[in-house]
Amino acid sequence: MNEQLPQLVRNLARGRCEYCLIPEEGSRLGHVIDHISARQHHGKTELPNLALACGHCNSAKGPNVAGFDPQTGDLSRLFHPRQDRWSDHFRYEGPLLVGLTAIGRTTVDVLGINSRIRLVVRRVLMESGAMFVS
């Protein structure tokens, strides 16, 4: 990966995880550059396939590109930060991230975005003003 690519990804993400929106400075695990389609699935190390992800989202996502919608049981692809608009698939209700579509629900489920500890962390960040949702 060239030296400028990670900074470009961080700038596009505005320093926030592109899946859960947690700010980089609010994450103990730090944020990493995620291959949206994993290298093992021939995903390229190019901007259209890279996203900024918090350690939790990156770890939970792994090489997955799809999962099962918990509402319908149907196979659905995961949210793609370079192809999808975040607000079309998600909204926050307090610290709870709600999936609005099959893509959103599947992403929230596969990435474990609403686990108990992650809800607590987001609540603290939101209450302190360190995390904003727009």
pLDDT digits (tens, 9 = 90+) for 40-76: 999 999 999 999 999 999 999 999 999 999 999 999 9
**CA atoms of 85 and 115, how far apart (whole Å):** 23
pLDDT digits (tens, 9 = 90+) for 84-134: 999 999 999 999 999 999 999 999 999 999 999 999 999 999 999 998 776
pTM summary value: 0.94
| C-beta pairs of 122-125 under 8 Å, 24+ apart in sequence | 122/20, 122/22, 122/95, 123/94, 123/95, 125/22, 125/23, 125/26
| pLDDT for the residue numbered 134 | 64
**CA atoms of 99 and 96, how far apart (whole Å):** 10
Range in 1-5, 14-18, 35-39, 122-126 the model is least confident about: 1-5
**In the predicted structure, residue 27 carries a pLDDT above the cut 80:** no
Nearest to 132 by CA among 22, 31, 49, 7: 22
